[in-house]
Amino acid sequence: MVKKSFAAFAASIALASILSARVQATAADGFDETQHSLVTANSLWVIVNKSHPLNPIRYAPANLVTPKQFNNGKLQLAKPAADAYVTMATASKAAGAGTLSIASGYRSYALQVTVHAQDVKKFGLVAGERLAARPGFSEHQTGLAADVWAPAQGCRIRVCFSGTKAGKWLKANAWQYGFVIRYPDGSYPTTGYQFEPWHLRFVGVELSTQMHSTGVTILEKFWNYPNSPNY
């Protein structure tokens, strides 16, 4: 009993030390990892993956807008993502990387039902779910995700987008505008999705900068979430 009590005490001391180190690191680098929720549906940092659906599952953002530039399809995004997207697209054009457009933005629960069913019918369940999330499990439903491309360069929602001028520029610079490439190459064991160089997720400049500076490119890895390759 004494040994068990001592072991429990030692474990609690170790945990306290880890938590203290995280607080000190946060204070040292100025990054406050508690400023946004990871589970609230309307949070900039909400984690949405195959293990963590939105709550409520039919969540719809209240701040949807239609970017007036770089948006040939007149698609919607949540306002913070929309504003940052226009700023980023303006910079991409100025840098000579191409004129961006949104291939897919906000998707309602109902629309995701259709998108998921189409991909599963076309590719089969396993391959289809490497591309399309089940309704309620999609980042697009938050309004914070945008599938982008440069129409003049082709490769719309295709892996070859990574080799275009626009794709290369986004890989190098999207973080400066608060976006991360949500499903980078090699992330399938963690995310359950294939490499999607076109899928940008807005998380805000503070988090994207922190991820860039630490070299951690996957949200689940950054937040120490378990791998979620399957439902």
Distance CA 192, CA 126 (A): 10
Domain annotation covers residue 13? yes
Averaged over successive runs of 10 residues, the pLDDT of the chain (231 residues) comes to 42 40 49 96 98 98 98 98 98 98 98 98 96 97 98 98 98 98 98 98 98 97 97 97
pLDDT at 30: 86
Query: Do 90 and 115 fall into the same domain?
Result: yes
Are 212 and 218 a contacting pair, CB within 8 Å?
Answer: no
Query: Do 150 and 197 fall into the same domain?
Result: yes
The neighbouring-strand residues paired with 202 are 179
Query: Do 170 and 108 fall into the same domain?
Result: yes
29-33: list long-range contacts, CB under 8 Å, 24+ apart: 29/210, 31/206, 31/210, 32/206
pLDDT at 8: 41
| 3-state helix vs strand vs coil in the chain, percent to 5 | 45, 15, 40
Q: What is the CATH number of the domain that holds 98?
A: 3.30.1380.10
Tokens of 213: 């500076």
pLDDT at 183: 98
Q: Please name the residue that has the structure tokens 């409520």.
A: 56
What separation in angstroms does the CA of 218 have from each of 53, 84, 174?
18, 20, 14
Torsion sign over Cα 176, 201, 69, 78: negative
Helix 165-173, helix 79-94: angle, nearest 10: 120
Distance CA 184, CA 150 (A): 19
Spell 99-116 as b/e; 16+ CB within 10 A means b: bbbbbbbbbbbeebeebb
Domain annotation covers residue 231? no
Query: Do 15 and 109 fall into the same domain?
Result: no
The neighbouring-strand residues paired with 180 are 201
Query: Do 4 and 94 fall into the same domain?
Result: no
Q: Please name the residue that has the structure tokens 């490499």.
A: 195
Are 86 and 80 a contacting pair, CB within 8 Å?
Answer: no
Query: Do 57 and 3 fall into the same domain?
Result: no
Using CB atoms within 10 Å of the CB of residue 122, give its burial: 0 to 12 exposed, 13 to 18 middle, 19+ buried. exposed
3-state SS string for 113-175: HHHHHHHHHHHCHHHHCCCCCCCCCCHHHHCCEEEEEEHHHECCCCHHHHHCHHHHHHHHHHH
Query: Do 52 and 164 fall into the same domain?
Result: yes
Query: Do 216 and 135 fall into the same domain?
Result: yes
pLDDT at 22: 43
